[in-house]
Structure 1
Amino acid sequence: MYHSSENNFNFFTSLLLGGIGVSLLLIPGALNFTTPASPVIIILLGVTCFTTALLLQMSSILTWALWRRRLFQSISTVLLLLFSILYWTNGFAIGTIIFFVAGFIQLILIFNSASPILFGFDILNFTLILISFITGIFLSFIKIQGIEIRIPVYTSLIGGAFLLISIIVTYVLLFSPKYKKKALSLQAIPWVIWCLFFAPSIYDANLILPVVIIGMLLFGDRLPWEQLRIPAGDILGRRIIMIACTIELTVLIFISSLLFLIDHTTNIQHTALLPAREASFVFFTICTFVVYLEGITIISTTNGLLNELNKLDDTEQPFESQTQSFSIWNTRFGKYVKPFVLSNEGTRNKLTFQSDQLDILSQQMSNEKKTKRTTYLLNGVKSAARKSIRSTRSITISGRHIRTSIKLLVNLYFYP
């Protein structure tokens, strides 16, 4: 089973790859870097990134073999390093730092995930601190021209903020872990400022990567992996995951193919298609959020019900506490069973009538069984009475023969 820190890190890398994959398919112009000339390569690269992101998320929830999980992590490492090279070629230093650090840490996890050193600290927090620290060094000591960024005067200040907050967060995590959540939230401040005033620029292609980092800093430790973990024999949970991933991938491929056909079969200018692509990106983002929310709700609810059933079977409680737990369980279970019970009124009446008929038939069968049992007992008494009468008659006849024989012997003895 995965360590929760490794699950968080895999989710972070999956968000990076998923965001880039969706951007390549729906809004490639918003990435602001040179893409391959063939649109087929862009589509294949986007589908590969998004599929790898889904597989990384599934590997954190489903019970898969170790080699399969390592394979998906290896593919994600190759993609992360590939995008770091692509970002560096186009001059986007911040994106290069994010992709390279994430790919490097993922490569270390593939070969040293069982090391006790890696389990001694949070891998995701270490990665985010390292990204912020390197970003701070770059922004503080690299000379930036005024035409390259919107507010060049304050670039060194934001770089110093990255450095200072990274050092503070590192100190808090090492020596005062009880303030961990507040420190991580503090680390999100320079990234928010960067998104508002500095991106997109020559050093950052778009807002996708900083937004992912901000989201993981604020909500990375709140993911309920224990409640989302699906056992090996849970067919329902596996099918829910497969259906959700299939829906997401199908919708993404359909929308991207539709935009591709519109772009290459009509005479509409590329700038006129930008609102449609942006709207499709927003639509897919909302759909993905809804699918994730519903999937998490269903899986956590199902796992909660199964865990409660296992607790009731495994633990022995006193009668009063057991009765109270049963009442709480019945109340919770009734809320989930109620929609299935409230069926059509006619069907309910038919079921009630059939159940009444079954009760009547069962009562008749029980009466017939009692009658047969009584008849069997009476027949036994009758046969026993017949046997006793026959034995009495035989005894009487034997007594008469004995008496006649005695008389004959007496007559022969006294009257020869």
Structure 2
Amino acid sequence: MNFFKKKKSIALSLSLLILGASTVGAASGSYDLLAVTETTQPVSEAAEEASAPAEINEKKDEVVLWKAELSEYNTTFSVINYEKVEVEDEDEAEEEVDEASGEYGDYSLEYTNGATTLAVPEREYTQAADIASGNFGFTTYGYGHGLGMSQNGANHYATYAGWGYQSILAHYYPGTYIQNTGTASSETISAGGVSGSALDIVSMVVYNEMSDCMNVEAMKAQAVAAYSYIKYKGGSAYDLLPRSNPPEVVVNAVRQVLGEALYYNGSYALAMFGASSGGATASCYDIYYEDIPYLRSVPCDYDAQCDPHYGTVVSISAEEVRYTLEGNLGITLSDDPGNWIQIIEGDGGYVANVCIDGQVTIKGSDLKYYLGLKSPKFTCDYYY
């Protein structure tokens, strides 16, 4: 994949391979939540979406896809929060369940595999974006940081490939294993400043992350990942936000995996997750600087066909790019915008590093943040 073009396909590509593992400290960060809308809105004033080349068919049995909330995360390790799906009627939701553990009691549910093997829908393609002269065209793949489990990907595997939650977790966190902590029935944990039982908090987090629309096996995988993340953080993760009144389908999914966590070498795994991954997840050392063995690039097989965030095109003027880069990096760019962005590709097609006008090299995730792009997996073209 060419990741930099100046109309004449000038490209700089380097694959990064870093061996070894290092310990990662606790993360911090906070994010806002918005309700999902049917169409993708521009992610910032600096990046106006010109055209999305593909949208998924709207069919009755089709999986519900998600749009991550673009947040001002920094270079610490933290999951990204996701936009909530609107509830038809909050009063009806309150009637369904007051607290995750209250109305349904403390019984255990028999495990059932809710995966399906539905036919993969055909993708509809729209006309390519027309980028005006004097503008950059960025094509992004996925939504979020790209590390760990893709929520859309988990839903795709459960819906179209028949994968259960164990297979989903083994795929996205290679080398980890699932083990029950044995403490979930009696412990108090917290997320987003809200404390409660493991069942209550994990149910509310899963409801916030996936609503009740995704395949139940994807919900179970999300429950294990969220609980693992909270346990990794010492039982309290303020960058995971709960959503009150989770419906019965969510609570029951969480019950079936309650207490199960991901481990690596005897310790809780940093189970990061994101909305969608653009055909592959990222390796941690390409997005940040640490090499975490279970956060390495793996494929997401259905994204190109099923994910609406695969191939989103945004147009940003050269003036806006200049203002943003000079302001954030303290440099003066040359007069040729075609020389400003030279991409160094990492694992899974993600932008590991970017050489800015031959003056300074930054992480691809930093450029994503500066310009308000959906993902650190992107291509860049300048149009003269």
**TM-score normalised per structure 2:** 0.21
**By percentage of residues, which structure has more strand?**
2
Determine which structure has more spread, i.e. the larger CA radius of gyration. 1
TM-score (norm 1): 0.20
Kindly indicate which of the two structures has a greater share of residues assigned to helix.
1
| Higher-RCO chain (CA-CA 8 Å, sequence separation at least 6) | 2
